[in-house]
Structure 1
Amino acid sequence: MSIYTTTYDVIVVGGGHAGSEAAASAANFGARTLLITMSLQNIAQMSCNPAMGGIAKGQIVREIDALGGYSGIITDKTAIQFKMLNKSKGPAMWSPRAQSDRMRFAEEWRWQLENIENLDMFQDSVNGLLFKGDKIVGVRTALGIEIKSKTVVITAGTFLNGLIHIGEKTFGGGRAGESASTGITEDLVAKGFESGRMKTGTPPRVDARSLDFSKMIEQPGDVIPEKFSYLQSVVPLVEQRSCYMSYTSSEVHELLREGFDRSPMFNGRIQSTGPRYCPSIEDKIDRFASKDRHQIFVEPEGWKTNEIYVNGFSTSLPDDVQDAALRKVAGFENVKFLRYGYAIEYDYFPPTQLKHSLETKLVENLFFAGQINGTTGYEEAGAQGLMAGVNAALKVDGRDPFILKRDEAYIGVLIDDLITKGTEEPYRMFTSRAEYRTLLRQDNADLRLTKKGFELGLASQERMDRVLEKQVKTDLFIKFLNETSVKPGDINPILEHKGTAIIPQTMKLFRIAARPQIDLEDLVKLGSVATFIHENDIDKEIKEQAEIHLKYSGYIAKEKNNADKLSRLEHVRIPDGFDYDGLKSVSIEAKQKLNKIRPTTIAQASRISGVSPSDVSVLLVYMGR
């Protein structure tokens, strides 16, 4: 099959995290898909830190996995450490995170993609887009090849007119050692798209053999590590590598300040916005001048390398300043640099120009995913890629788009935030962005989303069977706890030991289990519970589900009720081309925002900054409600 004569269903431009998930989801849906990337050796490259997950990000990886994506599977196969963060807080805050072997991660992703039916890969740079009126019909490569397609998904990462800064040195590039991409931005702006510039950065990489780890604080993984994927065929880690932690000091900060006059961040050469929640080290000491130290996390890049990622020291300061300052950090006195940190500026397109399907409003059949939409992070990119890929395939098939609501997934929150609110700084997901985070836990992503992925053809029968088994056993265990009583003589010794009130008479087990001081593992000491668990093969995952239900059922029910109430507004559609200027009693700001974003439902309109509850009431009147 020749690319000169084939018309693809979906072309994915870019082979990063968004592009890999986009290509996989489109091809697994059944669409004839082509992934074009500048370097097949750098598929799904971890350009920044060698880790997946974290606060809210881990929930996204679990959701990608539940839908049939690959980020969780690849992470599990290449992990060198696993941690469940925030275990001291409620289950809505628990967030899985794993350190990965950077080289093996890219290798596994490429192997996975190479074994997907309907997916072709091609190494070249796309420097032009082919349009027919207001529809996209293909791409043009640097070799001058025109490849036709029914849909195109652009996942260009930081490569669109990328510009790298190290001190006073500036050069073009999309990543260290790789060229920038030109032509795409210019073609899109010519079609009427609004573009902007964003900035991100990365810290130095250093040689582990030059560090003194005895001066640092060891950060081991969990004693019993879990995993991201819900598939039983993917096994947890057996062996792990430790990370370490050190701190900057006032002396380090003074050395860094000496380079501020040569910093592109402070001399005006970088004017674009960087990520607020992952600031450079110079940003930290400038914005938080009262702090005399900041954490530095020392993260290994893999099993078979001495390369270390210096997390917390992201910088674009001159190389000599980086060198002098880092040597004053405990354990780094004799550090050998493998490469210096740098900042990168790149083009993005404000995401209010997209529909919830991630298709652009201006050009039909053109989809954006990842950093081109103003986001930051592998997880956010992968989620968008999966959604854009499957929606491009659905568009080719003449079917309605697949859209997740805010109460269904963090992915739904992510995309709705981008489309409805836009972003002027690199968007990063946090649990605080989700108003229904008690519903959107990492432990129940499979229960929430696997059926949807299965119906799309992305999630396998193995996944669906696993979810059904999990739900049946969880319900069975909860039913047992609700119906089984325990006598004071059997439970009181356990209650006394745990520092909670004893019971004077027989009580149902679910009331005992609901106490905050009691874990289900405490109840396993009871013969009846131990027997039930053994006879019904109740594993750790089932026990966790049951315990969360028993302890937080009131909160979950309340949040679900609130979500149901607000979801009614999701069904109140706003007609295409609605005349907002003709609305009386609506503020000028609201009219301007409504005209720009063109919300599709009353619920979406209510989430737009500048649209007040009274404006929504007026809209409801006009909708006949």
Structure 2
Amino acid sequence: MSLFSTIFDVIVVGGGHAGSEAAAASANMGAHTLLITMNLQNIAQMSCNPAMGGIAKGQIVREIDALGGYSGIVTDKTAIQFKMLNKSKGPAMWSPRAQSDRMQFAECWRTMLEQTDNLDFYQDSVNGLLFDGDKIVGVKTALGLEIKSKTVIVTAGTFLNGLIHIGDKSFGGGRAGEGASKGITEDLVAKGFESGRMKTGTPPRVDGRSLDYSKMLEQPGDEITEKFSYLPTTKALQKQRSCWLTYTNLDVHDLLREGFDRSPMFNGRIQSTGPRYCPSIEDKIDRFATKDRHQIFVEPEGWSTVEMYVNGFSTSLPEDIQDKAIRSIDGFENVKFLRYGYAIEYDYFPPTQLTHTLETKLIENLYFAGQINGTTGYEEAASQGLMAGVNAALKVQDKEPFILKRNEAYIGVLIDDLITKGTEEPYRMFTSRAEYRTLLRQDNADLRLTPRGFEIGLASKERMDRVLEKQEKTEMLIQFLHKTSVKQEEVNPILEAKNLALVNQSMKLFKIAARPQLSFDDFKSIKKLNDFIIENNIQQDVIEQAEIHLKYSGYIDKEKNNADKLNRLENVVIPSNFKYEKVKSLSFEAREKLNKIKPVSISQASRISGVSPSDISVLLVYMGR
């Protein structure tokens, strides 16, 4: 059937990380989906660093996978290095991170999408949106096509009126080598949307053959590797590629300063806000003037390519300054550039204009996901795409929306932060943003979210069966530890080897296992425990769950109690037509913010900046609570 005559259930505009997850999710839930992107060769392109995961971001990738998304699977299939970050800290801080082969990553994504039922593709640029009053009904393309759809998800990344800067040169583009997208912003502003501008940047890419690695510190992956996906279809890495660490120095800083007067960041040509937690090298030198060096990570772009990503040297300085300064870094004396770093400005729409489903408040059936909402990072974008795809499909099917709470997922924290607090700078997820991070660990994302994903028809039965088995065996192991005693002669050699206090009588295994200085690896000499593990085919992920439960049960129970209190406030629903101006006891700022954001519950209202505890008390009294 022709595109001209088809009315799709979902149209996804943009084929980046948000668009790819959105298209996969809606199609896998049975919605007839069309993915429109400017270049089908660049689906899920890693525009910046060739890596997935990291602090808090790794948790998000695990959550996407647990719900039935593709990001974890693709990362596992294309990884060239794996690390579990923060392993020296408590499990709430453990965060998986993988370097990927950039070319394989995009190829794998496209292959998986092409094997997804209910999903069609079309290469063109969307330069307008079709409305029927306050409803979206389709899109207009650069070729003049009008394609109809019941819902539309805009995932435009950095392409909306994108402007690339290198020194005193600037030109339109969504990223290097690709044009900007024009028309969508103008259509939305005409409908009453508020828009803004943000900035991000990327470092140079260099020829790895021109670097001297003997002057750098090698950064290998973990000796024992893990993976992102909970499915057995992917395997942990058997071989890895190393990254390398070097540093800037005072000479580098002085050379970079020579170009500050030609930097678009400092001469006023860039007015928009860049990412606070991933600043450019010139911004670091300006803001941290007392530091005499900054880390530079040299990351391979793949298994066989010579292209290297210079992490930590993001810049928009003129190319001659980039060239001169980078040669003063140890190991870069004879560097050959493959492409220079640049900054890019683009349009975004403050996310307070969205509901928790990522549907816009002004236009029904229109959803935003990714950098259009003011976020930065592949993982943040992908999770929004998945949630928008799920909710667009559910809307078409006349089913209840799918919303994750703050105590259920980092994805829930991300979306709630965006729509409740908004953002005036590119938003990045951190563990510190999640008040229930002990509950929201990377190791238990499947236990938390696969039942939710299975319930809505996204997570497969295979996923659900594996979760049920993991739950059952974890409970079985914990019970065994609680009821099994070990003699002092069995356990004291273990304690003595660790310089720990010895025991003078038989003791239940769980009491020994709960000691923070010990791990299950220390108990290999206890025969009854090892026999139980072998007989019941207990895998490492189950052992990890049991160990975390024993060591951190007090913290976990405390957070669960706090989450229960939060959920009681979530149940106090605020009617959508509530007239805050009639509640005279509310502060002026609270009335203004509440009218703008229109929170759906007392709990959400309490998280709005400018709404004080006394304002919440007034609302509770007014609503009879």
In structure 2, the residue matched to 1:246 is: 246
Aligned counterparts of 2:400 and 2:492: Cα–Cα separation in 1: 57
Aligned counterparts of 1:154 and 1:525: Cα–Cα separation in 2: 57
Q: CA deviation at 1:509?
A: 0.4
What amino acid sits opposite 1:96 in the alignment?
A: P
In the alignment, structure 1 residue 442 sits paired with structure 2 residue 448: no
Q: CA deviation at 1:517?
A: 1.2
Q: CA deviation at 1:455?
A: 1.1
In structure 2, the residue matched to 1:393 is: 393
Other structure's SS at 2:140 match: strand
Aligned counterparts of 2:226 and 2:7: Cα–Cα separation in 1: 43
> What do residues 2-47 of structure 1 show as CA deviations (whole Å, max 9, x unaligned)?
1011000000000000000000000000000000000000000000
> What do residues 128-153 of structure 1 show as CA deviations (whole Å, max 9, x unaligned)?
10000000000000000000000000
In the alignment, structure 1 residue 111 sits paired with structure 2 residue 102: no
What amino acid sits opposite 1:443 in the alignment?
A: D
In structure 2, the residue matched to 1:492 is: 492
- Give the structure-2-normalised TM-score: 1.00
Other structure's SS at 1:387 match: helix
Aligned counterparts of 1:413 and 1:332: Cα–Cα separation in 2: 41
In structure 2, the residue matched to 1:94 is: 94
Aligned counterparts of 1:526 and 1:121: Cα–Cα separation in 2: 57
In structure 1, the residue matched to 2:595 is: 595
Other structure's SS at 1:608 match: coil
> What do residues 69-113 of structure 1 show as CA deviations (whole Å, max 9, x unaligned)?
000000000000000000000000000000000000000000000
Aligned counterparts of 2:524 and 2:485: Cα–Cα separation in 1: 14
Other structure's SS at 1:177 match: coil
Aligned counterparts of 1:254 and 1:604: Cα–Cα separation in 2: 48
What amino acid sits opposite 2:474 in the alignment?
A: T
In structure 1, the residue matched to 2:230 is: 230
Q: CA deviation at 1:524?
A: 2.3
In structure 2, the residue matched to 1:339 is: 339
Other structure's SS at 1:176 match: coil
In structure 1, the residue matched to 2:206 is: 206
What amino acid sits opposite 2:125 in the alignment?
A: S
Q: CA deviation at 1:577?
A: 1.5
Other structure's SS at 2:127 match: strand
Aligned counterparts of 1:200 and 1:560: Cα–Cα separation in 2: 37
Q: CA deviation at 1:233?
A: 1.8
In structure 2, the residue matched to 1:272 is: 272
1:308-323 equivalence runs, <5 A = 308-323=308-323
In structure 2, the residue matched to 1:482 is: 482
What amino acid sits opposite 1:303 in the alignment?
A: W
In structure 1, the residue matched to 2:461 is: 461
Aligned counterparts of 1:558 and 1:282: Cα–Cα separation in 2: 44
Other structure's SS at 1:10 match: strand
Q: CA deviation at 1:624?
A: 1.5
The size of the alignment, in residue pairs, is: 625
What amino acid sits opposite 2:594 in the alignment?
A: L
What amino acid sits opposite 1:193 in the alignment?
A: F
CA contact (8 A) 1:572 1:602 kept: yes
In structure 1, the residue matched to 2:409 is: 409
In structure 2, the residue matched to 1:607 is: 607
Aligned counterparts of 1:623 and 1:174: Cα–Cα separation in 2: 48
Other structure's SS at 2:218 match: strand
Other structure's SS at 1:192 match: coil
Aligned counterparts of 2:62 and 2:517: Cα–Cα separation in 1: 28
Aligned counterparts of 1:359 and 1:98: Cα–Cα separation in 2: 32
Aligned counterparts of 1:338 and 1:623: Cα–Cα separation in 2: 63
What amino acid sits opposite 1:274 in the alignment?
A: G
Detail structure 1 runs of 4+ shifted over 2 Å in the superposition.
none
Aligned counterparts of 2:224 and 2:103: Cα–Cα separation in 1: 25
Aligned counterparts of 1:273 and 1:136: Cα–Cα separation in 2: 30
In structure 1, the residue matched to 2:38 is: 38
In structure 1, the residue matched to 2:134 is: 134
Other structure's SS at 1:462 match: helix
CA contact (8 A) 1:499 1:517 kept: no
Other structure's SS at 2:549 match: helix
Aligned counterparts of 2:213 and 2:347: Cα–Cα separation in 1: 40
Other structure's SS at 2:171 match: strand
CA contact (8 A) 1:8 1:150 kept: yes
Q: CA deviation at 1:576?
A: 1.1
> What do residues 438-463 of structure 1 show as CA deviations (whole Å, max 9, x unaligned)?
00000000000001111111111111
Q: CA deviation at 1:596?
A: 0.8
Aligned counterparts of 2:199 and 2:215: Cα–Cα separation in 1: 33
Gaps of 5+ in 1: none
Other structure's SS at 2:96 match: strand
What percent of counterpart residues are identical? 79
What amino acid sits opposite 1:316 in the alignment?
A: S
In the alignment, structure 1 residue 544 sits paired with structure 2 residue 540: no
What amino acid sits opposite 2:515 in the alignment?
A: R
Aligned counterparts of 1:499 and 1:411: Cα–Cα separation in 2: 42
What amino acid sits opposite 1:361 in the alignment?
A: K
In structure 2, the residue matched to 1:527 is: 527
In structure 2, the residue matched to 1:167 is: 167
In the alignment, structure 1 residue 355 sits paired with structure 2 residue 355: yes
1:502-513 equivalence runs, <5 A = 502-513=502-513
> What do residues 206-229 of structure 1 show as CA deviations (whole Å, max 9, x unaligned)?
000000001000000000110000
Q: CA deviation at 1:498?
A: 1.1
> What do residues 263-296 of structure 1 show as CA deviations (whole Å, max 9, x unaligned)?
0000000000000000000000000000000000
Other structure's SS at 1:470 match: helix
What amino acid sits opposite 1:66 in the alignment?
A: A
> What do residues 170-218 of structure 1 show as CA deviations (whole Å, max 9, x unaligned)?
0000000000000000000000000000000000000000000010000
> What do residues 510-559 of structure 1 show as CA deviations (whole Å, max 9, x unaligned)?
00000011111112210111111110111111111110000000000000
Aligned counterparts of 1:368 and 1:147: Cα–Cα separation in 2: 18
Other structure's SS at 1:223 match: coil
Q: CA deviation at 1:623?
A: 1.4
Aligned counterparts of 1:76 and 1:469: Cα–Cα separation in 2: 23
What amino acid sits opposite 2:345 in the alignment?
A: E
Aligned counterparts of 1:463 and 1:403: Cα–Cα separation in 2: 20
Gaps of 5+ in 2: none
1:181-200 equivalence runs, <5 A = 181-200=181-200
Other structure's SS at 2:268 match: coil
In structure 1, the residue matched to 2:371 is: 371
Aligned counterparts of 2:541 and 2:566: Cα–Cα separation in 1: 31
Aligned counterparts of 2:567 and 2:351: Cα–Cα separation in 1: 23
Q: CA deviation at 1:329?
A: 0.3
CA contact (8 A) 1:574 1:600 kept: yes
- Give the structure-1-normalised TM-score: 1.00
